[in-house]
Structure 1
Amino acid sequence: MDLQRMMTDDAFVEDGAGQSSGPYKTKFGDPTLVFYDQDIVVNEGDFIIQKLPGDRTRRHRVVDVQHSSGLGSIPPHFTVKIGAAVTAAAAPASNTYNIHATNVQVGNHNAQHITASFQTLVSDIDKSSSSAAEKQEAKSRLLRVLESPAVVAVLGGAAGGLIKLLGQ
């Protein structure tokens, strides 16, 4: 049986910068996906996007990527291990609001407050009476928090800005 004909689902790859590529043929239903397309570029931490009915998508974080040069009648392929799926609703309609006030935060599920808190924390560390080594250790620990895949999944692009803030 031709394995490539079993790949009837379309998948898209979203990299860490939010750039999407695809579609690539695979078969969803198992935490390990197979891609026979040798042009696919996918790395750990990227997302595999599965299109669902009703303008919904299911996002799977890439946990592991392996390449096989093939064996006998099995052609070269990539095996991609994915994590648990996160289902997202259709994008909300864009609304315009005119607000005349201070200390206002606007956005759907944004990380602006977390970013501001980290900026304040880093500033307070820099202003503290701690030694330079202690300050560097504190910032290093914050950086390790930002490198966690779970934290990156929540913060999205804000994590990159916070890493720059820490001087890394």
Structure 2
Amino acid sequence: MLREVITYPNKLLRLKSEDVVEFNEELHTLLDDMYETMMDHAGVGLAAIQVGIPLNVLIISLPDDEDIQNKEDLIEAINPVITHKDGVQVFTEGCLSVPGFTEDVTRAQHIIVEYYDRHGQKQTMESEDFLAVAWQHEMEHLSGHLFIEHLSFLKRKKFEKEWKRKLKEEKK
């Protein structure tokens, strides 16, 4: 089932998500709905809070060399924690909760993440480059943060002004 992706400045996006304690059918339905919603919006990642559910759940599906997102490559992460990060990279990011806006963000180039799969099995994944960016971006959502917080003061002010204008135009 498609779920609504909430957008900035919705206050739900500022909530710190809670750990999942039950790996049950409700969680599986959430993960399936998140995947369907992410694909419908042409995204590469989605955190549960972006569909209004404050749980430490995220999904990532990067396109392959032919620009196809294969479901068998889908990462479903419950209660993820970054245990190591190093290096620096700058990547142009966008977000389904801030549609139509992209900006360069500096993040770690290499990370190691520990998380649980949908069945409660502990996993460890080492990631770099775009996948490391996706992990860090989605995990920020779980702690109530958005990529726009990485903008300089001046860029943030410009963004806020343009975003307010865009929202006013959409209401007309």
Interval of TM-score (by shorter of Structure 1 and Structure 2): under 0.3
Length-normalised TM-score, structure 1: 0.28
- Which protein shows a greater Rg? 1
More helix by share: 2
Length-normalised TM-score, structure 2: 0.27
Relative contact order, higher structure (CA 8 A, sep 6+) = 2
